[in-house]
Amino acid sequence: MDALKKRILQDGKCFEGGILKVDSFINHQMDPMLMHQIAQEFVNRFKEVKINKIVTIEASGIAPAIMVGFIMQLPVVFVKKKQPKTMENMLTTTVHSFTKDRDYTVCISNNFLTAEDHVLFIDDFLANGNASLGMIDLIKQAGATLSGMGFVIEKAFQNGGKILREKGVHVESLAIIEDLSNCEIKIR
Ligand code: 5GP
């Protein structure tokens, strides 16, 4: 997706440890026009796939996910990183956070992720795949079907993409970062 790649090269910043900062247009300040183009690209790439629900994980997956849900006219659910006392029929799993280097118990209500659901998972980044593997576990617990996983940015020098594709998951990443070493952004 050329507009996204251009924007990453223009406004993205590299940090130690293979972290790409895109907080001026994706996950702090957000560019809704770019986000709309991103969502439209996901819709095109998954147009042959049976989907009835978009699922993401808070917080930075919510913006692209709700745009996809709006275009597809489908409900959007986000996995929560704190367990609300009032959540009914809670499903939980543990996810290791790449950026914060700690484990979270994340949750989703079985009321909103059910055995009838064909899920498109959307997130901002694919790094080591921990969030995605947690999502796969929740989908399994719910008896739902995973239709595909869409990432705004995949970092190809980390293992997540390989792990998910080897599991047979339909993965679509709109910008693939080959390398961030020497604080230089190399995009495929
Ligand atoms: P994974 O679970 O695939 O290891 O990492 C994905 C999650 O970590 C994403 O939801 C994203 O929030 C965060 N993340 C991973 N790598 C980066 C990065 O380079 N930059 C930013 N801003 N977030 C990242």
Instruction: Read off the pLDDT of residues 91-127 as tens digits, 9 standing for 90 and up.
Output: 999 999 888 889 999 999 999 999 999 999 999 999 9
Give, rounded to a whole angstrom, the gap between the first and last alpha carbons of the chain.
11
Ligand 1 nearest atom to the CA of residue 128, by list position:
4
Q: Which of 62, 12, 71, 7 minimizes the C-alpha distance to 39?
A: 71
Could you tell me the residue ranges of all domains in the chain? 2-187
106: CA distance to ligand 1 center in Å?
15
pTM: 0.97
Query: Is 173's C-beta closer than 6 angstroms to any atom of ligand 1?
Result: no
Query: Is 117's C-beta closer than 6 angstroms to any atom of ligand 1?
Result: no
CA distance 151 to 122: 6
CA distance 164 to 141: 18
Among 140-144, 151-155, 169-173, 179-183, where is mean pLDDT lowest?
179-183
CA distance 42 to 128: 21
Please say whether the beta carbons of 113 and 139 come within 8 A: yes
Of 3.40.190.10, 3.40.1110.10, 3.80.30.20, 3.40.50.2020, the CATH number of 2-187 is: 3.40.50.2020
Query: Is 19's C-beta closer than 6 angstroms to any atom of ligand 1?
Result: yes
